[in-house]
Structure 1
């Protein structure tokens, strides 16, 4: 891989690191299998792109607006589950399907190009470095901010209540924690992060597309699983760090597989590569070690 390809992979890894943090919040902290992110990722991109192109919004404010839209999508999914007792997986599917049509409405078509529109990355042109160098640095700082903010939140009283609601809802309720409210806020926050990452993704690649959310749930889960396998931890700080590392390692694994000519992979094989990586990570995690898979030496 060339330096340009390495930095590009790192760039994408940091973007999906934010998605992984959102997946960690729902799947690991709240124990809420949320499929909404398949729709909230392109929702954030669609809202940001439309505001930047049609409304001439500041790219930072447009990206934040995309996050607000993502929060609303996640909040709706949790509301369907908490208030109307719809199974969480089904609620996420229903909202994600609805968001596909909503995204088409927002963009007035299947995509929205961001040609000759200033992005958040253009705010740092004064540094004088080329985009392929400065963009990964900017995204690294952004994902670090999200990681530290999530660490700080989960250490507050509200965050501890949310962790208790996910670990043991009955016990949390008995101790006065409103589990429903924890789900409403937690799933909303996770989708806000996902939507912001979608908005950043669109600005990096120059367009928002209604289909860009396909497979995002797998990427988020793969990042969490790979990260937890590489860096198992009982602390919040290391757990969120593992999510970011997992997203980066996942993107490098995919890039290396696609660049390994002897394997014969093509760009269309990304989903297969993802599935294999997730299966390997799950097997290793469940088995505890590779030795347990193949048997102890000498047995």
Structure 2
């Protein structure tokens, strides 16, 4: 009883806006992960590094007097270059996707340290700089997060409906057939990886403003959070919309996946679970949502088999 008495619902309610704001930012990052893992079918691990690169570039350029929007644009360009690096390692040097991403990620650690002038972290005060969003004003942060999400989803929906965007999707779906149709699959991979990591770096820039600092390790484990958001979004979308889920719906539910993930993490912390075990809880959450589609499909298959057996038995009985 003493444990439940320490759980304050007001504390959870107060933390909810912050969870939503962070969920929106990481949901934008998950959109980048969705492009590589779902559309391009490319296991890209660059994102842990490019996320931190976006934060580092945004903070350092803002500190040095550049406009915050220019800083975010440069963060996107830095992420784009990181994605191109991974793509070139894979397409031109024949390095497997996972290893190419790891190599770029390792290189970005040193690059990020150099960007931040050999400091592991750099502060960005909301008092000194005119930031796009900050954790000091959660309502404004949520509104900004929603606006960025809507704009990015709209642009992605339009782009992947164009000839080039469709070629990227075709490359991920069936590379051999795409090549036979005259699509340069290497170029499509380069474009997809560049676009993905540009979005990831943008979300890193937004998080550095929200948090008030950039850290060389801020992207560590980001790929797990991104995948968690994608998977949670897919499971929720399938449960709510089923066969009516279109491409726009998938993109929207990726954002919802990020929000749900951070709300679940908020619940875990509210239940006073050890914060050191957050990675463990993350793995459990991802495993549960990964298992849901499989178990759902397995149960449907077992019901179908049972139905066929029952129908066969009934027909045999009638035949007698």
TM-score for both structures, normalised by structure 2: 0.85
Instruction: Name 2:155's counterpart in structure 1.
Output: 149
Offset, 1:143: 1.1
Secondary structure at 1:112's aligned position in 2? Answer: strand
Match of 1:203 among 206, 209, 212: 209
Match of 2:39 among 29, 40, 46: 29
Task: Map residues 25-104 of structure 1 onto 2, 5 A cutoff.
Answer: 25-54=35-64, 56-104=65-113
Provide the C-alpha distance between the structure 1 equivalents of 2:120 and 2:51, rounded to a whole number of angstroms. 15
Instruction: Name 1:268's counterpart in structure 2.
Output: 276
Instruction: Name 2:171's counterpart in structure 1.
Output: 165
Residue 10 in structure 1 maps to residue 20 in structure 2: yes
Task: Map residues 110-259 of structure 1 onto 2, 5 A cutoff.
Answer: 110-115=120-125, 116-121=128-133, 131-232=137-238, 235-259=246-270
Unaligned runs of 5+ in 1: 123-129
Match of 1:284 among 282, 289, 292: 292
Offset, 1:260: 1.3
Residue 106 in structure 1 maps to residue 115 in structure 2: yes
Provide the C-alpha distance between the structure 1 equivalents of 2:81 and 2:92, rounded to a whole number of angstroms. 15
CA contact 1:228–1:243 (8 Å) conserved in 2: yes
Provide the C-alpha distance between the structure 2 equivalents of 1:97 and 1:52, rounded to a whole number of angstroms. 25
Secondary structure at 1:32's aligned position in 2? Answer: coil
Provide the C-alpha distance between the structure 1 equivalents of 2:269 and 2:246, rounded to a whole number of angstroms. 34
Instruction: Name 1:125's counterpart in structure 2.
Output: none
Q: After the TM superposition, which parts of structure 1 deviate over 3 Å for at least 4 consecutive aligned residues?
A: 1-4, 289-293
CA contact 1:284–1:290 (8 Å) conserved in 2: no
TM-score for both structures, normalised by structure 1: 0.91
| C-alpha distance after superposition, 1:76-128 (max 9, x if no partner) | 10110011100010000000011001100000111111122221238xxxxxx
Provide the C-alpha distance between the structure 2 equivalents of 1:81 and 1:237, rounded to a whole number of angstroms. 29
